[in-house]
Amino acid sequence: MESCRNLFIPRLAPGDPPLAPPAGRCNGLSLLECYAALDLDLGASTPAIATTPSGREVAILPAKDGAIYLFDAKHMGTLHQRFRLREFCGSNNGMCTANWAGTMVTQPAIAMVDGAPVAIVPTFYFDRTNAAGVVGFDLVDDPDGPRLRERWSAPARDTDEAVERFREHTGRAAVVDDDMYGPQVVIADPGEDDDGRVYLIDASTGAIRDRGALDGGGRKYIRPAVLGQRVFVTSCTGGPDRGMLPGLSHLEGWDLVRR
């Protein structure tokens, strides 16, 4: 696997334990066998390309199994890090309603904070036990190579909001550059009952600057379109199947204003 120049194959890093979703669903299975058993297709997400402070080009790829793969963009077989971010859906005695969904289906957004890249990764859970939300990572150069280091989590993991929101597939994150406050992250969380919410998060600190109620449920997977200080979000109505069945849809425009 390491010899491949133009192919990345997901794998455990040295010392990583086998995948262990609840109820022993992957007992005795290899990583790829577990992926197949739970439909944890790696292609559900898209890698983002970023450059470390030393100038090394890397790819950042979230996986449904709760890990983020950091590998070399020019020699894709070189795995720098497998960062374990989320436990499996249903962990900690949670009742998981969609084991196949995983915890990440997205493409990271890259914000430049003080001249260095911060990777923004949305996460979710199909249970009501485990904290989810948006996570920011610093991309750094360690003596052992490029590494991701968690910078912030929004909402904070110890808050009720982190368990109440991000309960289904969420949208992707977009970065809005602000001359006064620096880069800001915008993401729409569809909610469960057409109670979609658009979040504005400081890319440097992870502070949630504002929450806006969408006129509908938003839409999973969608990245907001950014035009200056204005963002556009597609929204659908119709509960969990919104966008999959005929229904009402519309486009919402939001302005970022300074208080």
What is the CATH T-level fold of the domain 168-259, as seen in this structure?
Thrombin, subunit H (2.40.10)
* Cross-strand partners of 227: 230
The rounded average pLDDT for each run of 10 residues, N- to C-terminus, in the chain (259 residues) is 96 94 95 95 95 97 97 98 96 94 97 96 97 98 96 97 95 94 95 87 98 88 94 78 63 90
For residue 242, give the 3-state DSSP assignment: strand
Task: Answer for the pair 137, 167: CB distance below 8 angstroms, yes or no.
Answer: no
Q: Say what the pTM is.
A: 0.94
Q: Hey, how many other C-beta atoms are within 10 angstroms of the C-beta on 229? A: 15
Task: Answer for the pair 47, 59: CB distance below 8 angstroms, yes or no.
Answer: yes
What secondary structure letter does DSSP report for 12? Answer: P
For residue 138, give the 3-state DSSP assignment: strand
169 burial type by CB count under 10 A (0-12 exposed, 13-18 middle, 19+ buried): buried
pLDDT of 238 reads: 64
Residue 119: CA count within 13 A, CB half-sphere: 28
- C-alpha 193/C-alpha 184 separation (Å) is 27
| Look-up of token digits 């262990």 | 20
Q: Which helix (H) or strand (E) holds 38?
A: helix 31-38
Write down the domain spans for the chain: 1-167, 168-259
CA distances from 141 to 54, 57, 144, 146, 156 (A): 7, 11, 8, 5, 26
pLDDT of 235 reads: 86
- C-alpha 38/C-alpha 129 separation (Å) is 20
How does pLDDT run across 153-177, given as a tens digit for each residue?
999 999 999 999 999 999 999 999 9
pLDDT of 244 reads: 55
